[in-house]
Chains A and B, each alone.
Chain A
Amino acid sequence: MKTAQTAVAAALAEMVSTGQVTEPRALEIARGYFHDNTARLFGIELLSQKQ
């Protein structure tokens, strides 16, 4: 879990820094990776629906 969190932060930081995505979009991707992409498959409420 800790490894995954730091890995995702590092990957997304590079994507933001190189101009591929904005920071808000990076966090949206992270929420998808850790929660929403899988939650959608299992009918669990999405974080994006809670906001």
Chain B
Amino acid sequence: MNMYLRGASAVTCLLGTLVFSSPGWCQARALPGKDVAAIYDRLLPQIEKIPIVDMHAHPGYWDDTDVDAMAVTTTSLDPARTRTTNPEWRAAFKALYGYPYSDVSPEHLRWLDEKDDELRKQWGNEYLSKMLDKAGIQVSVANRVAMDYLENNPRFRFVFFVDPFMFPFDNKDLTINPDRAVFFPIQENALHRYLAQAGLQGLPSDLAGYEAAIRKVLELDKQQNGVAIKFEAPYFRSLVKITDPPREQAEAIYNKYRAGGTPSADEYVVFQDYAFRYLIAQAGVLHLQVHIHSAVGSGNYYHLSEGNAMDLENILRDPRYKEITFIMIHGGYPYDQQAIWLAALPNVYLDSSEFSLLVSPQEYSHILQRWLEIFPEKTSSALMRSLIPERSTSRPRTGWL
């Protein structure tokens, strides 16, 4: 037994003796008492008054494609809470829009769209800020390709997507399923925009130039109220065993495929791993946080086993990154019980966005209780997505839920 455990055992014995022998002390119990409902009733109204800093959102108008660097592809079976059969949506629509109906028929959802258009016209540039007010949100962390009309709005912070920098070559061999066939053209388009932002027409002639372009874009985005870079990597590749390739190896691959040709799967993964770590390191230089989607994802072809937050341990525990703040977006769900132990690292935090869409309030409370009992200061709330219902789908989303 090591010294720490010996010491811990001694303290435990002493604590046990004190607890059971001192009438003024109480041992925490395994079961709640009959007072739990009364305590809940006292806490809830006070909790409802707390202004929210929303760690993860995609705010924007319904027709704005910059709210993400990918598209939410069709999932054959959506979680029950996200379907229009969930009666909570009606309450959300009523609170946000004054929705007068007791159902969500297509005709009445059209009323919702028209009401949304009317408010957008009436409120102009204040539209999104007013939506934040309705939801009790003080500040929202906006995950977007570019801030556009949200630039200089003090209610928003900018988190920008950097995955496109991992995929600068011919991506046709990566489009292995219908979801990725949708994603990669969007990634390529985003990379072209980023290169243009850095003053380039195409890929630089060498890796040093490419790295300079990355640094330039990160610096420019930071100047636009940027606070973090964002990876949605598991939608495009696996998080399992991200390696640490030498720069020379990445440089050889860049030189070989910059002007054309399709890298082999092994070559491309090496380059992606290098770019992933380069982006993290540069975020550190600029004091930007690193947000990583590392949980369940949408679409029929998302590999949950390749998006597990626990697969990032070799990154999170890399001493070179110990000064960089990492946020595990969606809290590793459904591996949330393991993920909370990543928050033992001083620089790692868990965000709980999407829980309200995926699980019931009861299950949400169970997950949170486990988190709050262990590392309460390392967790954050988030409402995910926008406050605006998606259109042309039967699946409205709102941060109200």
A residues adjacent to B (C-beta < 8 A): 1-20, 23, 26-27, 29-35, 37-39, 41-42, 44, 47
Interface flags, B258-299, vs A, CB<8A=1, else 0: 000000000000000000000000000000010000000000
Chain A interface main SS type:
helix
Contact A19 to B27, CB < 8 A, known contacts A11-B372, A39-B53, A44-B53 = yes
* Between-chain CB contacts (< 8 Å), 8 pairs: A5-B47, A7-B356, A7-B362, A10-B362, A13-B32, A13-B37, A16-B39, A34-B47
A18 to B373, CA, bound (A): 12
Chain B interface main SS type:
mixed
B136 contacts across to A, CB distance below 8 A: 1
Q: Which of B27, B43, B48, B137 contacts A23 (CB 8 A)?
A: B43
A11 to B355, CA, bound (A): 14
Contact A14 to B32, CB < 8 A, known contacts A29-B372, A33-B372, A35-B50 = yes
Given A6-B44, A32-B379, 16 more pairs with CB closer than 8 A: A1-B401, A4-B355, A8-B381, A9-B47, A12-B39, A13-B32, A13-B36, A14-B32, A34-B47, A37-B377, A38-B53, A38-B381, A42-B53, A42-B141, A42-B157, A47-B51
A4 contacts across to B, CB distance below 8 A: 352, 355-356, 364, 381, 383
Q: Which of A3, A20, A23, A41 contacts B361 (CB 8 A)?
A: A3
Q: How far is the CB of B15 from chain A (nearest CB, A)?
A: 14
Query: Is the beta-carbon distance between A27 and B46 smaller than 8 angstroms?
Result: yes
B400 contacts across to A, CB distance below 8 A: 1-2
Does B79 touch A at the CB level, under 8 Å? no
Contact A41 to B365, CB < 8 A, known contacts A1-B135, A16-B39, A27-B46 = no
B residues adjacent to A (C-beta < 8 A): 26-33, 35-37, 39-40, 42-44, 46-48, 50-55, 88, 91-92, 135-139, 141, 157, 227, 289, 325, 349, 352, 355-356, 361-362, 364-366, 368-369, 372-373, 376-381, 383, 399-401
Query: Is the beta-carbon distance between B377 and A32 smaller than 8 angstroms?
Result: yes
Query: Is the beta-carbon distance between B52 and A7 smaller than 8 angstroms?
Result: no
Query: Is the beta-carbon distance between B55 and A8 smaller than 8 angstroms?
Result: no
**Which residue of chain B is the closest to A35 with respect to CB atoms?**
B53
Query: Is the beta-carbon distance between A19 and B135 smaller than 8 angstroms?
Result: no
Query: Is the beta-carbon distance between A18 and B361 smaller than 8 angstroms?
Result: no
Q: Which of A1, A6, A41 contacts B349 (CB 8 A)?
A: A41
Contact A44 to B365, CB < 8 A, known contacts A1-B399, A15-B372, A19-B29 = no
